[in-house]
Amino acid sequence: MKQDLREKLSFIAQTLREIESYQHACRVLNFDEETICPERAMGAQGEVRAFLSNKAFKLTKEARFIESSEALFIRKDELDDPLDRILAEDLHRSFLKTKNVTPAMDHEFSLVYNDAFVDWLNAKQKSDFAIFSPSLKKVRDVELKKISLRESKLPDAYDNLLDDYERGMTTRDLDAIFSTCRGRLVPILHKIQNSKKRIRTDFLTRSVTDEQQREMSKYLLETMGFDFRRGAFTVSEHPFTEGLGRDDVRVTTHYYPNMFCSSIYSIIHEGGHALFEMYQPGDDWDHFINNDKTMGMHESVSRFYENRVGRSKAFIHLIYPSVKKIFSEAMRDVSENELYEAVNVVTPSLVRIEADELTYTFHIIIRYELEKMMVNDHAEISSLPELWAEKYEEYLGIRPQNDTEGVLQDIHWTSGFGYFTTYALGNMYNAMYYKTMSEEFDVEAAIAKGNFARINGWMKDRVWKNANRLTPKEWLRDITGDDFSVEPFLDYLEKKYTEIYEL
């Protein structure tokens, strides 16, 4: 590598370290805002976060940084380290997206998202979409404005947002994927609904304390291999994971007094995200590409632990004694098999994060269709509650009774659109690599014995190692040797629920 290029790379690294300091502070403030920040302080705290975020953004607009970054991209073949070539491509993509966004615009956008979060939280607590509607309209307007400002953009507005979360994914791809899902999932759902098999679920609504759920959450994270020297957990309105830094990953859950399985599976889900953050290669941090993994990749891991592991017979066998001990009164007369069947019961429901594996995809299809309507068709924001209700009746045969269990249940629209589809893609991705994993060792036996060192070791070597370095399609081919397909996911669901419901 020539000296002038080495100097440019050194300057970029220095700037990125400074940017990371601002962003780290923003993540700390965000975590605080979503956990223990007093309600009346949220607005001011959001303004501080927007200020710091804007400081980081301004560094990317400095002439020397832009010149150095573009030189790196143009001359990327001269770079000695392939990870620096990935960084060069990242910087160029970011430049094309933000070239025409001024610092003043960036600050304005951040305030819109923060105000939307505050209004969403208030609206959800009061079950009144009208409180959130004006802010959501502003979020939609910001998303469209940011697309219009891009130096290079796709013809379909919504495709640009999808590409932000899942590189290379388009509405054409998703329309075909979801059409296949509808074609195979609807018949299974109908068979289950007509099945004579009845699964016991009465105990799932028995009362448990927050302290019992906290104890269970800690036990589950420890079982999964969560490193408490580098992570922590608490509660929030909507469970999430925040990777604050290389050695600081925070997860949250939510405790419902009459829904103990909700916190069990939210903590396993978020714990999966945390493991991904904790055990990605250190080299990726050193070369500033640690955030290159797509959200579909991330969701594949969280839902791998939540569903493929967490709802398996082997995992229920592993945790049953602890569940019985910690929730002693609620579980007083519940057998291991009754618990297994109950956590896998299929019941069309209104709340996405409580949905069973089979009907979960319909929740994502509904949000995907509504997002396309908002972004591409400029649907009236005020009409969303009714559109939401109509789609739930169409796909699942149920209607929400209020905005909290309907259109206000998710936090994601406070920060834009395009994320939801990654949940469904994540399920499809992990079905592919679970199949590969099971061909190499007995996964069920490892789960039953609590041998997460074996499972996490495979995930580290095969799934997490190259996630920041490859596109989703390349990544799946690298892990499995096969091109992306939705079929393994659908095959898994058909087999599992045929057995459970004795179809």
pTM: 0.95
- pLDDT confidence bin for 167, thresholds 50/70/90: very high
What is the torsion angle, in degrees rounded to the nearest 10, for the CA atoms of residue 93, residue 81, residue 433 and residue 488?
A: 40
What is the residue-averaged pLDDT of the chain? 97
Residues designated catalytic: 270
pLDDT digits (tens, 9 = 90+) for 168-192: 899 999 999 999 999 999 999 999 9
pLDDT digits (tens, 9 = 90+) for 415-455: 999 999 999 999 999 999 999 999 999 999 999 999 999 99
Q: Which residues pair with 235 in a beta bridge?
A: 253
Query: Would you state the pLDDT for residue 144?
Result: 97
pLDDT digits (tens, 9 = 90+) for 209-233: 999 999 999 999 999 999 999 999 9
Query: Would you state the pLDDT for residue 321?
Result: 98
pLDDT digits (tens, 9 = 90+) for 345-378: 999 999 998 899 999 999 999 999 999 999 999 9
- pLDDT confidence bin for 204, thresholds 50/70/90: very high
Cβ burial of 170 (10 Å; 0-12, 13-18, 19+) is middle
Distance CA 367, CA 248 (A): 32
Q: Which residues contact 292 (CB under 8 A, 6 or more apart)?
A: 86, 90, 284, 467, 468, 469
- pLDDT confidence bin for 464, thresholds 50/70/90: very high
Query: Would you state the pLDDT for residue 431?
Result: 98
- pLDDT confidence bin for 46, thresholds 50/70/90: very high
Nearest alpha-carbon partner for 367 in 410, 307, 306: 410
pLDDT digits (tens, 9 = 90+) for 289-337: 999 999 999 999 999 999 999 999 999 999 999 999 999 999 999 999 9
End-to-end CA separation in angstroms for the chain: 64
Q: Are the C-beta atoms of 349 and 366 separated by less than 8 Å?
A: no
Q: Are the C-beta atoms of 327 and 260 separated by less than 8 Å?
A: yes
Distance CA 110, CA 416 (A): 11
Query: Would you state the pLDDT for residue 263?
Result: 97
At residue 232, what are phi and psi to the nearest 5 degrees? -155, 165
Q: Pull the structure tokens for residue 127.
A: 């079950």
Query: Would you state the pLDDT for residue 110?
Result: 95
Distance CA 315, CA 318 (A): 5
Q: Is the dihedral of CA 256, 261, 267, 272 positive or negative?
A: negative
- DSSP result, 311-345: TSHHHHHHHHHHHHHHTTTTTTT--HHHHHHHTT-
Query: Would you state the pLDDT for residue 166?
Result: 96
Domains in the chain: boundaries: 3-153, 171-500
Query: Would you state the pLDDT for residue 261?
Result: 97
> Hey, which CATH number is domain 171-500, 1.10.1040.10, 1.10.10.10, 3.40.640.10, 1.10.1370.30?
1.10.1370.30
Distance CA 472, CA 173 (A): 13
Distance CA 117, CA 392 (A): 24
Residue in the structure block whose two tokens are 């995200």: 273
Query: Would you state the pLDDT for residue 54?
Result: 97
Query: Would you state the pLDDT for residue 328?
Result: 98
pLDDT digits (tens, 9 = 90+) for 114-131: 999 999 999 999 999 999
- pLDDT confidence bin for 279, thresholds 50/70/90: very high
Distance CA 469, CA 287 (A): 11
Q: Which residues pair with 245 in a beta bridge?
A: 248
To the nearest whole percent, how much of the chain has pLDDT over 90? Answer: 99
Q: Are the C-beta atoms of 184 and 175 separated by less than 8 Å?
A: no
Distance CA 181, CA 16 (A): 42
Taking CA atoms, 455 is separated from 67, 204, 309, 433, in Å, by: 44, 29, 10, 12
Q: Show the CA angle centred on residue 258, arms to residues 254 and 260, nearest 5°.
A: 55
- CA 480 to mean position of chain CA atoms: 22
Q: Are the C-beta atoms of 295 and 301 separated by less than 8 Å?
A: no
Letter for the amino acid at 139? V
Q: Which residues of 273-299 are buried (b: 16+ CB within 10 A; e: fewer)?
A: bbbbbbbbbeebbebbbbebbbbbbbb
At residue 497, what are phi and psi to the nearest 5 degrees? -80, -20
Nearest alpha-carbon partner for 303 in 255, 338, 352, 339: 352
